[in-house]
Chain A
Amino acid sequence: QKEVEQNSGPLSVPEGAIASLNCTYSDRGSQSFFWYRQYSGKSPELIMSIYSNGDKEDGRFTAQLNKASQYVSLLIRDSQPSDSATYLCAVKGYSTLTFGKGTMLLVSP
């Protein structure tokens, strides 16, 4: 059974700070990794994908991948109250996407 682990949180940060969200995965052969944002009661929204070791930046979001350590992270710079949500890490297998349980982020004004 492939596992994707995330700290459930909540992670609390003040407005304007950097939020750092972490994810580890068990399948060393995994090649594709995704971050989703989910507001309470809403459907998940894909915000980042990463396939290669290193950093990938998109606006205020940076995804980081370290395959040797089986570790994926998401940094959110200049955090805003509207970023308050649950962030889901997902790892692609051959024909399925396995999600972590998510980390709740709370950004206080």
Chain B
Amino acid sequence: EAQVTQNPRYLITVTGKKLTVTCSQNMNHEYMSWYRQDPGLGLRQIYYSMNVEVTDKGDVPEGYKVSRKEKRNFPLILESPSPNQTSLYFCASSLSLADLRFFGPGTRLTVL
């Protein structure tokens, strides 16, 4: 089954404790992206990757890192999480940006 998986689905952590949210797709897609969604602010792009080893900042990259060492995986790293990173995070992938239809199920992160 074609899908994007994210782990964990839910996470409660404390300020400053490094964490990684994994994202994996099984469709051989070139393009992958991370979004965060907050009430009243909509979906905002954090980072995206056009291909392996190619990543770039989106609209809200501060406090986040990503890597794309292999095509299927695009982990999101929070080196020192803060409460303002409490949000719902979505990973997405597609063959091209013109068809961004595969979203992961979301990761709900709470930073205390």
Complex Cα spacing A98 to B43, Å: 8
Q: Smallest distance from the beta carbon of A98 to chain B beta carbons, Å?
A: 8
A63-94, CB < 8 A from B? 88, 90, 92
Q: How large is the interface on A (under 10, 10 to 19, 20 to 34, 35 or more residues)?
A: 20 to 34
Residues of chain A contacted by B100 (CB below 8 angstroms): 34, 46, 90, 97
Does any Cβ of B come within 8 Å of A99's Cβ? yes
Q: Is the interface of A mostly helix, strand, loop or mixed?
A: loop
Residues of chain B contacted by A1 (CB below 8 angstroms): 59
**Inter-chain contact A46/B41, CB cutoff 8 Å:** no
Q: How large is the interface on B (under 10, 10 to 19, 20 to 34, 35 or more residues)?
A: 20 to 34
**Inter-chain contact A92/B97, CB cutoff 8 Å:** yes
Does any Cβ of A come within 8 Å of B101's Cβ? yes
Q: Smallest distance from the beta carbon of B95 to chain A beta carbons, Å?
A: 13
Complex Cα spacing A46 to B97, Å: 12
**Residue of A with least CB distance to B39:** A101
**Inter-chain contact B90/A43, CB cutoff 8 Å:** yes
**What's the A-B contact tally at a CB cutoff of 8 Å?**
52
Does any Cβ of B come within 8 Å of A28's Cβ? no
Does any Cβ of A come within 8 Å of B48's Cβ? yes
Digit string of A1-41 for contact with B (CB within 8 Å is 1, else 0)?
10000001000000000000000000000001010000001
Residues of chain A contacted by B73 (CB below 8 angstroms): none
Q: Smallest distance from the beta carbon of A50 to chain B beta carbons, Å?
A: 12
Residues of chain B contacted by A43 (CB below 8 angstroms): 90, 103-106
What are the nearest 8 A-B pairs in CB distance? Answer: A101-B42, A43-B103, A46-B101, A99-B43, A99-B42, A97-B100, A44-B103, A43-B106
B-to-A contact residues, CB < 8 Å: 33, 35, 40-45, 48, 50, 56, 58-59, 90, 97-101, 103-106
Q: 13 new A-B pairs (CB below 8 Å) besides A90-B100, A95-B48?
A: A1-B59, A32-B98, A34-B100, A42-B106, A43-B103, A45-B103, A49-B98, A92-B97, A95-B50, A95-B97, A96-B58, A99-B35, A101-B41
